[in-house]
Amino acid sequence: MVKEIGEDFFYNLKKAVEHAKNLINENTKLKLEIKKLKEELEARKDEITQSSHSECYKKINDLEEKNSEFNKRISELEEENKNFATKYVELESENNNLANLYVASFQLHSTLNFKEVVQIIMEIVINLIGAEVFVLYLLDEKTNELTPIATEGIEIEKTNSIKLGKGVVGRSAKTGENYFSELIPIYDEFNEDAPIACIPLKIKEHTIGVIAIYKLLMQKEQFTELDYELFTLLAGHAATAIFSSKLYTESERKLSTIQGFIELLTK
Amino acid sequence: MAGINILVVEDSPTMRQLIVFALKRLKDVSVVEANDGVDGLKKLSAQKFDLLIADINMPIMDGLKLVSLVRQDQKYKDMPIIIVTTEGAEEDKKRGLTLGANAYLTKPVQTNQLISTVKDLLRIS
């Protein structure tokens, strides 16, 4: 009986040892498998990370490129905008200048009355140029003298006729060239021979008078680009306006004389 | 703001034309002109104006007298007034503004400066 129990025990023990051995083998195999899988996973992980990183880098690069393109475009647009703004300011200023020139020219040719023409010239020099003291001289071709016919800021009695070619005003009239003093000196008292600007009034090359400016308004420090354009306009248009108004006045006078004479004859 | 009426009181036809020319660049603006202060007062009583532009040195009645009389009128106590003048001294400017002008511009006036002052005072764009 004991023998049978012993044999069973050994048999079972043998079986158990075999089973244990099998389990150990299985376990070892599984461990190896896990290790393999882990290694594989590790390898794949690197691969996945690397590919997603490179994709990200590519996208970042693309976005950075686009960003720099946008920045470039923005700076180009800003530059364009600045250019447009500058152009706009220039056009505004040009527009203002043209308005001034148009009004001056329109006014100069708005009348054939000599006194009114002179008044308009004076107004242009005061209001559009900003002169405080100036004299309008007309050339007397018989005496070759420049005679003051209108003044501003100085009484006409305090001015004198100037011989053609004499002094700054006379020389400007003779040569027909504009004169501008390099510096605008502090105005102390009226000095006929110290103008800051002389503008000969000319019909083609024939000088008929001169505008001599001696002092600018206190708020006006120097001549501007527009002033030079106004001087050019005055040089031509004021001269023709003066000349035609003088001719018209003379012809009107002659006409009334002739009419009076005819009336006398026909009575 | 529809239908803006502006009165320009200036004895110089050249200057008047230049101001009117500049104002015509604004939308819905109608401009009435007057030669001096008395003429200006007459026109102010004949119709309602939204803005007055006046010179100082004018015959019959100067611009400063005109500004002080306009400010005494209840109808025009809030109307913007711009003085455009050759008088550039600081005391003249102070006087003009004390009498009731809202802006003081000196000649030779830049038309764009005048326009921007008008726009500011009338609050138009």
Q: Would the CB atoms of B107 and A130 count as touching at under 8 Å?
A: yes
Q: Would the CB atoms of A130 and B108 count as touching at under 8 Å?
A: yes
Question: What's the token pair of residue B96?
Answer: 């003009």
Among B12, B15, B111, select the one facing A96 at the smallest CB separation: B111
When the pLDDT of each residue in chain B is averaged and rounded to a whole number, the result is 94
Encode pLDDT of A178-237 as tens digits.
999 988 888 888 999 999 999 999 998 899 999 999 999 999 989 988 899 999 999 999
Residue that is written with structure tokens 């503004």 in the block: B97
Q: Is A122 on the interface with B (CB under 8 A)?
A: no
Whole-structure pTM value: 0.77
The pair phi, psi for residue A266, each rounded to 5°, is: -85, -10
Q: Would the CB atoms of A123 and B13 count as touching at under 8 Å?
A: yes
Print the domain residue range for B17: 4-122
Helix (H, G, I), strand (E, B) or coil at A238: helix
Question: What's the token pair of residue A156?
Answer: 């006409």
User: Rounded to 5 degrees, what angle do the CA atoms B31, B33, B37 make?
Assistant: 130
- A42 falls in which pLDDT band (50, 70, 90)? confident
Q: Which chain B residues have a beta carbon less than 8 Å from that of A93? A: 112
Question: Measured between alpha carbons, how far is B49 from B38 in angstroms, rounded to an integer?
Answer: 16
CATH number at residue B97: 3.40.50.2300
Q: Which chain B residues have a beta carbon less than 8 Å from that of A88? A: none
Q: Considering the domain A112-255 in this protein, what is its CATH number? A: 3.30.450.40
Q: Is A132 on the interface with B (CB under 8 A)?
A: yes
Q: Would the CB atoms of A126 and B18 count as touching at under 8 Å?
A: no
Q: Would the CB atoms of B106 and A96 count as touching at under 8 Å?
A: no
Which DSSP state fits A124? I
Distance from CA of A199 to the nearest CA of B (A): 19
Stretches where chain B sits below pLDDT 70 are: 1-2
Q: Check pLDDT > 90 for residue A162.
A: yes
When the pLDDT of each residue in chain A is averaged and rounded to a whole number, the result is 91
Encode pLDDT of B83-116 as tens digits.
999 999 999 999 999 999 999 999 999 888 999 9
Burial label for B10, CB within 10 Å (0-12, 13-18, 19+), is buried
Q: Look at chain B and report how many structural domains it folds into.
A: 1
Encode pLDDT of A254-266 as tens digits.
888 999 989 888 8
| Pick from B103, B123, B98, B124: nearest CA to B113 | B103
- The per-residue pLDDT for A1 is 66
